[in-house]
Amino acid sequence: MQRFGTLQRISIYNSAVDLIINFSQYKNHNMKKTGFISFLLLALALVMASCNKDNIDSNLTKEEAPLPKVKVINDLMSRAVASTNAEGLELGCFTIEYPFTLKDDQGGLHLVNDDDDFYALFDSTNTNVVIVDYVYPITLLDSLGAGTVVNNIDELAAAFASCTPSGGWENGDFPAYLINGETSCYNLVYPISLKKEDGSLLTINGESEFLAAVAEQVCFFVFPMTLDPVDGSANITVNNIDELFNALISCGGMPCDTVIN
């Protein structure tokens, strides 16, 4: 099917116009006025039909470029480490109970019964498998052995981010963790700033961004920041680690038996 570019359309149009002019000179000798008008309309119609046909062909044959496949990898995969017991993997203040199943970027499933199974899947010298996430639900055990079932990546991120730190502030930084009505008597007031280990800053506009940031890497609170008491009283501003400690301890927000990686 022949298609015409812009220059070709112009050429077709000019040729038609020349044809009409030449024919107007000829019509004085061989055609009546009505015949000339009919021919003129026919020539213009042919030009417009050619251009419209080309446009239609272009629209019908234009193919949209396929969207690239995106691999979504759970950042918390790299935060899990071998536990001090054989019950599962340690993730923050929780243990992910064995057995559980992991999935790779091709949809394959891999049963994990112990630490050896887990680390074998991440050994690049032995496998080309790209692990992207857990297969939910999974069970998290707290420090007392009580189990909590999490059903998706969002619940896992929230559980991990809620682990209150028992250290990490020795160098003047306070490891960021999720402060809300479930872990404290305060809610964080957004936006806040977090500092990464390399010293660069992140602006966090809401809880979902907070969860994503602390799942990816260790972050630290940047002072001052504002806390909103859940009892409806006036907001408070904490300007340093000591003031944050005092605020959290006042409502039992700093249990001593939790850890952070």
| Gap between the Cα atoms of 218 and 41, Å rounded | 76
**What pLDDT sits at residue 194?**
96
Query: 242: helix, coil or strand?
Result: helix
DSSP 3-state of 64: coil
Q: What share of the chain is helix, strand, coil (3-state, %, to 5)?
A: 35, 20, 45
Determine contact, residues 110/121, Cβ cutoff 8 Å.
yes
How many helices (H) and strands (E) in the chain?
Answer: 6, 14
Which value, in Å, is the radius of gyration of the alpha carbons in the chain?
A: 35
C-alpha 92/C-alpha 161 separation (Å) is: 8
Residue range 171-194, pLDDT digits in tens: 788 999 999 988 889 999 999 999
Q: What is the pLDDT of residues 63-105, one digit of tens each?
A: 444 333 334 467 787 777 777 777 888 888 889 999 999 998 8
- Buried b / exposed e over 83-98, threshold 16 CB at 10 Å, is beeeebbbbbbbbbbb
Listed in order, strand segments (DSSP E) in 92-210 are 94-97, 100-104, 109-112, 131-134, 138-141, 147-150, 186-188, 192-196, 201-204
Inter-residue contact 76 to 157 (CB < 8 Å): yes
pLDDT in tens, the chain (261 residues): 444 444 344 343 343 334 344 444 434 444 444 454 444 444 444 444 444 444 434 443 444 443 333 344 677 877 777 777 778 888 888 899 999 999 988 889 999 999 888 888 877 666 677 888 999 999 999 888 899 999 998 899 889 888 877 776 767 889 999 999 888 899 999 999 999 989 999 999 999 999 989 988 889 999 999 999 999 899 999 999 999 989 988 876 444 333 333
Distance CA 11, CA 199 (A): 64
Query: Two tokens at 4?
Result: 């015409």
For 176, half-sphere exposure in the C-beta direction (CA atoms, 13 angstrom radius) is 28
What is the pLDDT, as a whole number, of residue 171?
74
Q: At what angle do helices 207-216 and 153-161 cross, to 10 degrees?
A: 80
pLDDT of the residue at 164: 78
Q: What is the pLDDT of residue 119?
A: 84
Its pTM stands at 0.61
Dump the DSSP string for 88-120.
Answer: EEEETTEEEESSEEEEETTS-EEEE-SHHHHHH
Chain centre distance of CA 63: 27
Q: In what order do the strands lie in the sheet with 100-104?
A: 109-112, 100-104, 131-134
Q: Is 103 exposed, middle or buried (0-12, 13-18, 19+ CB in 10 A)?
A: middle
Q: What is the DSSP letter of 132?
A: E
